[in-house]
Amino acid sequence: MTPARQKWLTLVAVLGLAYWFFGNLYEAIVFSPNWVVDTPAQMTRLHGFFVNTGPTLYFVPLTFLAALLTWLLLALNRDPALRADYRRASLVAVVLMGLNAFIVATVVSKLFGAGYPADPERLSAYAWRWNVLNVLRMMLTATAAVILFNAFRKLDRRPGAD
């Protein structure tokens, strides 16, 4: 891979992670704090709101691509000066994707599944759990983005990096 291509693919991965981070930040500020108050009613309203589309269309394509691109950059990298950055970012991306899978499997499926109003007490606990785990997910996303941005800056500062 040419240094110029590597530089721009690294930037694309950073932008994908930033997209993921800011989407989760928006949810953490605008939507999810409401979920912990009268959770069954909030979830019913949310289910009514997401009729034609939902967060999946926003998050799934680019978030997976950002993680895959991070791993691809590690696999295709031949520059020793970038190896540690790509390794760290890839490791964080693995943990991030694992956490994301855990959130979807154990929390989102309960909040947005067909039987969501059956147990109001548990539903509130799931809403709290989502809020806490989302903060952790945002921290990991930001960490991976910062590490990759460091690699991008190393590439960008080189003469003839365009």
The tens place of each residue's pLDDT in the chain, 162 residues long, gives 888 999 999 999 999 999 999 999 999 999 888 888 887 888 888 777 777 777 777 777 888 999 999 999 999 999 999 999 999 999 999 999 999 999 989 988 888 777 777 777 788 888 899 999 999 999 999 999 999 999 999 999 988 666
Start-to-end CA distance of the chain, whole Å, equals 14
Dihedral of CA 86/89/91/97: which sign?
A: negative
CA dihedral 96, 102, 55, 9 (to 10 degrees): 20
pLDDT recorded at residue 9: 97
Would you give the DSSP letter of residue 38?
A: S
pLDDT recorded at residue 162: 66
pLDDT recorded at residue 161: 63
Could you give the CA distance from residue 45 to residue 39 in angstroms, rounded to a whole number?
10
